[in-house]
Chain A
């Protein structure tokens, strides 16, 4: 019951933020130089279609009414029509969002698989050679440009070795997942580096805590102390950075999808900008914000489950 209350409370807190996000996008779209109707039509269109668009957007009415029309459309997922694709933006997003979400999930899983063991290892080996090697590795990893690493991976593992496809994401789910390994790894690299740092610090802090000693003094086996005492508390201290990094990686999908030619909404956004197809820009930016807000909600809930101290505050 307590948990349900918390979730409802957090959901209600999101509504004003989401509202402000729509206001921001509305203002941004109106800031684009030129007639807003023409902007949405990509500078093309007969005088009739322009007039129809002007009327549809309510440009002859007050800004408040215009915003109301805009908001109404957003809530009904009526995101306008792409000039280039000649297709509703919501349809385009529906087709492509799965690619971006899969990419983000694969990156996240890879980041966890790499950073937790390495972070733990460097945490218990802090100061010695093993720890220093991991530290140096993560310092390098965080400083590398992802688009360049992506290209190097493509040349090496795609072109030269032929282990992975060099473009697209295939037809079936196994192909989808397989083709996400290189992009996911590229995306995960910097995040891994930051997570390793964070986990390392928190492991070496937690190892000094009395509760770990107390657990050993009770005669608990090493394995149980590790899972229930060390890892569980490390997770609590990592969750915030982790969610921030997932949001960051979501943004990175524009670059990664461009490098690996993946048909996701990041690439769609870039095409929209370069082709001055603003209906696409507006729709994808909104969807990105919705995903981030949903994910923050998810993180907060998992945080409250992981750390019992949160609920009281």
Chain B
């Protein structure tokens, strides 16, 4: 139906320390279509942020991308020079961060931070200034002319997040990476930012990768989602299917632990146990020790990510056993959950 904008194949990002290797991302593959919002969800420390940072080449030492291919519109981002990557950043791919206070330079005026982000060299200073005001208006900053002279600390949390979004969108990226964009905000502000991002995405016809640990946020924004666990993708499918008929024990566990499940008469069930140590991973499926469907083979061998129906992939041997389990919404309606 639409063209692929980004394809990630077998990405591995390891943190190589003196006496251990932390496998933060351990063979992740997925693809994103144009004008699509793709969610990466999972607990903190599951490698979703590391995946996101790998895509735009911001992995900090001792982290290192040791394997894989990041195919953006036909170019492998892992094979190009830093100069070429610089060209792609901003105009093709942008990123917004969790904590807007720390993501904005405290000693530069907002004006300067927006104006330096326009990559079009043909723009005059005056044009940049006008475009900057336009951008601030677009993200809903009141009286943008005045706020141009302000410093980041003079904004409230929600406004700061809007400013950061404005900056990231300055050069109209085709793909926006959003790393927990609402986590640091109050609930009411969260909803505003979610709406803003959804609107902007539609208006600018861009694709988006949303990294979040909050399934509620993901449900409001994503077209398709991948559930990550211990550096691996466990399940990929469209959002409606994921919430309606999950086909991986971990996804099911996550949904059961949601409060909304209880409201619908279900039981609030936490997942027992803790995620494995990423520097000392079990041989087989990383979820096996916590999995109630675990088979002997699971502890020896990691199952493949197999397609169980078109567009729905799950990394589990026992998908048949899970076939009748229902999620938290009715799978029939293909509308956005609200």
Interface size class of A (residues with CB under 8 A): 20 to 34
Taken together as a complex, chains A and B put the C-alpha atoms of A210 and B183 apart, in Å, by 15
Inter-subunit contact A219/B164 (CB<8 Å)? no
Task: Indicate whether B306 reaches chain A with its CB closer than 8 angstroms.
Answer: no
Inter-subunit contact B119/A229 (CB<8 Å)? no
Query: A188-209: which have CB < 8 Å to B?
Result: 207-209
List chain A residues, Cβ under 8 A from B90.
217-220
Inter-subunit contact A218/B151 (CB<8 Å)? no
Taken together as a complex, chains A and B put the C-alpha atoms of A104 and B177 apart, in Å, by 50
One digit per residue, 1 when the CB lies within 8 angstroms of any chain A CB and 0 when it does not, for chain B 62-102 equals: 00000000000000000000100011111101110111001
List chain B residues, Cβ under 8 A from A209.
102
Surface stretch bound by B, among A147-155, A263-271, A301-309:
A301-309
Taken together as a complex, chains A and B put the C-alpha atoms of A222 and B86 apart, in Å, by 9
List chain A residues, Cβ under 8 A from B82.
222
Task: Indicate whether B252 reaches chain A with its CB closer than 8 angstroms.
Answer: no
Question: Which A residues fall within an 8 A CB radius of B?
Answer: 207-211, 213-222, 224, 228-229, 232-233, 236, 306-309, 312
Inter-subunit contact A308/B153 (CB<8 Å)? yes
**Residue on B nearest A305 in the bound complex, by CB:** B107
CB distance from B80 to the nearest CB of A (A): 13
Surface stretch bound by A, among B165-173, B197-205, B231-239, B286-294:
B165-173
Task: Indicate whether B108 reaches chain A with its CB closer than 8 angstroms.
Answer: yes
CB distance from A39 to the nearest CB of B (A): 52
Inter-subunit contact A219/B105 (CB<8 Å)? no
Taken together as a complex, chains A and B put the C-alpha atoms of A8 and B259 apart, in Å, by 58
Taken together as a complex, chains A and B put the C-alpha atoms of A74 and B164 apart, in Å, by 56
Inter-subunit contact B106/A233 (CB<8 Å)? yes
List chain B residues, Cβ under 8 A from A228.
105, 108, 112, 116
List chain B residues, Cβ under 8 A from A207.
60
Inter-subunit contact B87/A219 (CB<8 Å)? yes
Taken together as a complex, chains A and B put the C-alpha atoms of A218 and B86 apart, in Å, by 8
Inter-subunit contact A211/B103 (CB<8 Å)? yes
**Residue on A nearest B94 in the bound complex, by CB:** A217
Taken together as a complex, chains A and B put the C-alpha atoms of A218 and B57 apart, in Å, by 12
**Residue on B nearest A306 in the bound complex, by CB:** B107
Taken together as a complex, chains A and B put the C-alpha atoms of A312 and B82 apart, in Å, by 40
**Residue on A nearest B177 in the bound complex, by CB:** A217
List chain B residues, Cβ under 8 A from A312.
153
Task: Indicate whether B58 reaches chain A with its CB closer than 8 angstroms.
Answer: yes
Knowing A308-B151, A308-B153, A309-B153, the reply to whether A217 touches B107 (Cβ < 8 A) is no
One digit per residue, 1 when the CB lies within 8 angstroms of any chain A CB and 0 when it does not, for chain B 289-314 equals: 00000000000000000000000000
CB distance from B107 to the nearest CB of A (A): 5
25 A-B pairs with CB atoms under 8 Å apart are A208-B60, A209-B102, A210-B98, A211-B104, A211-B105, A214-B103, A217-B93, A217-B168, A217-B177, A218-B117, A219-B87, A219-B88, A219-B89, A220-B86, A220-B90, A220-B116, A220-B117, A229-B105, A232-B108, A236-B107, A307-B107, A308-B107, A308-B109, A308-B153, A309-B106
Task: Indicate whether B56 reaches chain A with its CB closer than 8 angstroms.
Answer: yes
Taken together as a complex, chains A and B put the C-alpha atoms of A229 and B103 apart, in Å, by 11
Taken together as a complex, chains A and B put the C-alpha atoms of A210 and B102 apart, in Å, by 6
Closest 8 CB pairs of A and B: A219-B90, A219-B89, A217-B95, A210-B103, A308-B151, A210-B102, A214-B103, A218-B90
Inter-subunit contact A214/B86 (CB<8 Å)? no
Inter-subunit contact B107/A233 (CB<8 Å)? yes
**Residue on A nearest B18 in the bound complex, by CB:** A127
Taken together as a complex, chains A and B put the C-alpha atoms of A216 and B109 apart, in Å, by 18
Taken together as a complex, chains A and B put the C-alpha atoms of A211 and B177 apart, in Å, by 15
CB distance from B284 to the nearest CB of A (A): 35
Which among B60, B108, B167 has the highest number of chain A CB atoms within 10 Å?
B108
List chain B residues, Cβ under 8 A from A214.
95, 97, 103-104, 164, 167-168
Taken together as a complex, chains A and B put the C-alpha atoms of A222 and B108 apart, in Å, by 17
List chain B residues, Cβ under 8 A from A306.
107
Taken together as a complex, chains A and B put the C-alpha atoms of A43 and B102 apart, in Å, by 65
Knowing A218-B168, A232-B107, the reply to whether A213 touches B58 (Cβ < 8 A) is yes
Inter-subunit contact B102/A218 (CB<8 Å)? no
List chain B residues, Cβ under 8 A from A215.
105
CB distance from A212 to the nearest CB of B (A): 9
Taken together as a complex, chains A and B put the C-alpha atoms of A309 and B152 apart, in Å, by 9
List chain A residues, Cβ under 8 A from B99.
210
List chain A residues, Cβ under 8 A from B153.
308-309, 312
Inter-subunit contact B89/A217 (CB<8 Å)? yes
**Residue on A nearest B60 in the bound complex, by CB:** A208
**Residue on B nearest A219 in the bound complex, by CB:** B90
Taken together as a complex, chains A and B put the C-alpha atoms of A158 and B105 apart, in Å, by 48
Inter-subunit contact B107/A219 (CB<8 Å)? no
**Residue on B nearest A124 in the bound complex, by CB:** B61
Taken together as a complex, chains A and B put the C-alpha atoms of A209 and B102 apart, in Å, by 7
List chain B residues, Cβ under 8 A from A224.
116
One digit per residue, 1 when the CB lies within 8 angstroms of any chain A CB and 0 when it does not, for chain B 155-180 equals: 00000000010011011000001000
Inter-subunit contact A219/B119 (CB<8 Å)? yes
Given contacts A213-B95, A233-B105, 16 further A-B contacts (CB under 8 A): A211-B102, A214-B97, A215-B105, A216-B58, A217-B89, A217-B93, A217-B95, A218-B170, A219-B90, A221-B86, A228-B105, A228-B112, A228-B116, A232-B107, A308-B106, A308-B109
